[in-house]
Amino acid sequence: MKFLTVIGARPQFIKAAPLSRALRKKHREILVHTGQHYDYAMSQQFFRELGIPRPDFNLEVGSGLHGAQTAAMLAKLEPVVIKQRPDAIIIFGDTNSTLAGALIAAKLHIPLAHIEAGMRSFNRMMPEEVNRVVADHLSNMHFCSTNTAMENLKKEGITSGLYMVGDIMYDAMKYILPTKDQTAKIIKKLSLVPGNYLFVTIHRAENTDDAENLSAIMEALLSSGKKAVFPVHPRTERKLKDISLWDKLEGSENVMLIPPQGYRESLALQSAAYAVITDSGGIQKEAYLLKTPCLTVRHETEWVETVKTGWNRLVGPDKKRILKALAYLRPPASHPSLYGQGQSARLIAGHLERHLGR
C-alpha cells in the first residue's frame, strides 16, 4: 500500500518517526513536510536525530496567519496528493498541517487516519482545538492515545474506526531516550544542578499573543528562586522583544535563555529538572513519562489523566499560582501507566492494513 503522511511541526516529527519505520517494513510511504516549522532547530534537527527519512516533498509554507497558512498548505498539498494517489493519508495531532491534510483527504475522497485522535481541551478559542475537532470528524480511522479520547469521540457521535493504541510519542521516547551518562553530560554543559532547576517551554498563542499572560509567566520565572532553563521558540522570542521583556530576561541570573533543543537534549533536561513549566501538550506528556512534575500554564488540558494522577497541575498564566505551586510541589507516590507500552506504531500499522483490507 501507499501512504501519504503529512507533517509540519515538532510534535509531528517525533510522532512520525516510529510509524514511518513500522510502515516502511511492508509499504511505501510518501512523506510531505508542509514547512510549518522551517527553522533548523525546529525541523531538520529532529529528522536527523530521529532517523526520519528525508521528506519527498517540502511545501515550504512557512509562518503566517492561520487562514493564510492553511490556505497555502491546501494549494500546495492538493496537486501532490492528486499525483501520488495514496491509499490513505495520515495526519498527526492538531496543527494547521493536520487540518490541511484532513481537508484534502475529504475533498479527494481518500481514507484518512488521524493519530492522537479524540483529544479535547473543550476550549474552542484555541486554534488547535478547532483543528483536532474538524480532523476527527473527517477521519475514517481514529487512533487514540487514551480511553478518555475514545469516550470523547463517542460523545460526538464518532463510533466507527476507533482504535485504542496508546501514545506513539512513547515509542519515539523509548527509541531516543538519553542514557544517564548522556543526561549528565548535557546537564553539565549548561552548568546545571540536577533537581534544582526548571525546564520551561512557552509557545501557545493564548500566552504569546497576550502580553499580560506572557508577562505574568515571565515574572514568575524571575521570582521563582530557581534557575529556569528556557529554550525559546522563535515566535515566543519575537513576542518577548515586542513587550520589552527580552532584555530583562537576558540580564537575569536565574533565567537561562537557550535556543530550541533537539529531542534528546529536551528529554535530558526534562528528566533532571525539579519541575517542568509549559503550555505544550506534548511536553506535558513527556514530563509525565519521565516522572517529572509539571505545571501547565493553561486553564485546561487535553491530557486530563496527567492532572488526575497529580503529576500535572493547571496553574494558568498566573504568577501567584505558579509560585505557590512551585513552593508546595511534591511528586505523587504512584505513577500509573497511562499511555501504553511503547508499541503504538506496530499496532497502528496493523490496524491500517486490516481497516483498508490490503
Known catalytic residues are 203
Residue among 268, 272, 270 nearest 280 (CA): 270
Q: Give Dmax over CA atoms of the chain in angstroms.
A: 60
Helix (H, G, I), strand (E, B) or coil at 198: strand
- The grid cell for 300 is 485546561
145 vs 304: CA distance, rounded Å: 12
Which residue type sits at 126? M
Helix (H, G, I), strand (E, B) or coil at 57: strand
Q: How many residues does the chain have?
A: 358
264 contacts 291 by C-beta, under 8 angstroms: no
- The grid cell for 242 is 515586542
User: Is residue 310 packed enough to be buried (19+ CB in 10 Å), middle (13-18) or exposed (0-12)?
Assistant: middle
232 contacts 258 by C-beta, under 8 angstroms: yes
256 vs 231: CA distance, rounded Å: 8
Query: In 108-177, where does DSSP find H-type helix?
Result: 127-138, 147-155, 168-176
Residue among 101, 163, 95 nearest 131 (CA): 95
Residue 61's Cα: distance from chain center in Å? 19
286 vs 315: CA distance, rounded Å: 18
Backbone angles phi, psi at 140, to 5 degrees: -100, -30
For cell 513519562, the residue is 289
297 vs 314: CA distance, rounded Å: 6
Residue 159, CA distances (Å) to 142, 162, 339 in order: 10, 7, 21
314 contacts 284 by C-beta, under 8 angstroms: no
